[in-house]
Amino acid sequence: MSALKLAMCCAVVVLASSVVVEANQGRSGAPSGYFGQYVLTQSWTPGFCCTNSDKQECQVLKPTDWAATHMSLHGLWPQYSSSSAKKSGYAWPQYCQDAVDGNAYTQCTASGNNPSFCDPSQDVYNKFNDAWTKYAPGYVYDDHFLANHEWPKHGSCANLTIDTYFGTSINMTLSVGTPQLVLDNVGKSVSQKLLQNGFKFATGVQCDSSGRLTGIISCFPNNYDNNLPGQQVDCGNDVMSSSYDNSCSSYDNIYIASSDKCTE
């Protein structure tokens, strides 16, 4: 790895500004591949659907579906290290300007009339549709909504081909899996502390405003030799103290919804 990349991997170049921003926003147009870690976001689909019944993935969800009883894929997000985020005010890169396919995804942030490269191609849809339907239903339903969102915003910054990015996202979802504590308590409430301690690594646990489990966030270092995620590690303070990434921390008890039951 070049000295330049080594230096940039843990720092973010920020345009001069007199405005100080909090590290809770993305940097559009950032260079692809220069970030310290990945966060894998997984959804507990039954909990998500309790407040998103208009989503097609929720309307077709059946108790026998894989996503009804396992953590499904939401997204794999490049993210800056805590120290870089604190210095720069930006927590993650997004819509990167020099993706591995040569496209500038800064053009994909406007609503409507985006270049055709912003969305995955039909060939990509055909390759992943079966896996997405099972492991990441939001990527297929509502006209491939999540696939069309995750690739330009986050995937463009990973410095991976689109096939590698989506394939890695699915493999990591299966590797992290679903905590046994969650599987054993579907349709029940568990204490927040017990749930938090049910993970091998420090993990962000997400809840909706009613204290229902909606997802988890796991952390992995970026392997700068190939830009693939390394072995899972404890999530740092940037995740564990976040009101978004670890929102369940404000509740004493967490309800784990089933596909047909949102409350006890």
SS3 sequence of the chain: CCHHHHHHCCCCCCCCCCCCCCCCCEEECCCCCCCCEEEEEEECHHHHHCCCCCCHHHHCCCCCCHHHCCCEEEEEEEECCHHHHHHHCCCEEECCCCCCCCCCHHHHCCCCCCCHHHCCCHHHHHHHHHHHHHHCHHHCHHHHHHHHHHHHHCHHHCCCCHHHHHHHHHHHHHHHCCCHHHHCCCCEEEEHHHHHCCCCCCCEEEECCCCEEEEEEEEEEEECCCCEECCCECCCHHHHCCCCCCHHHHCCEEEECECCECCC
Res 82: pLDDT: 74
Q: How many domains does the chain have?
A: 1
Residue 198: inside a domain:
yes
Average pLDDT estimate for 78-99: 86
CA nearest 8: which of 74, 65, 100, 84?
Answer: 84
CATH number at residue 146: 3.90.730.10
User: Confidence class of residue 6 from pLDDT cuts 50, 70 and 90?
Assistant: very low
Residue 7 reports pLDDT greater than 60: no
User: Confidence class of residue 264 from pLDDT cuts 50, 70 and 90?
Assistant: confident
User: Confidence class of residue 109 from pLDDT cuts 50, 70 and 90?
Assistant: confident
CA nearest 103: which of 12, 29, 8?
Answer: 29
Round the average pLDDT of the chain to a whole number and report it. 90
Lowest mean pLDDT among 20-29, 39-48, 190-199: 20-29
Res 243: pLDDT: 92
Res 86: pLDDT: 65
Average pLDDT estimate for 153-174: 98
Residue 17: inside a domain:
no
User: Confidence class of residue 50 from pLDDT cuts 50, 70 and 90?
Assistant: very high
Residue 241 reports pLDDT greater than 70: yes
Hey, what are 53's tokens? 């019944």
Backbone Cα Rg of the chain:
18
Residue 160: inside a domain:
yes
Residue 210 sits in which domain range?
Answer: 23-256
Cα 45 from Cα 43, distance rounded (Å): 5
User: How distant, in Å, are the alpha carbons of 37, 45, 138, 187, 203 from that of 254?
Assistant: 28, 15, 24, 11, 15
Cα 144 from Cα 125, distance rounded (Å): 8
Residue 191 reports pLDDT greater than 80: yes
Res 24: pLDDT: 65
Between helix 141-153 and helix 122-135 the angle, nearest 10°, is 110
Residue 4: inside a domain:
no
Residue 101: inside a domain:
yes
Residue 237 reports pLDDT greater than 50: yes
Decide: 219 and 234 in contact? Cβ < 8 Å. Answer: yes
Hey, what are 126's tokens? 């055909």
Res 23: pLDDT: 54
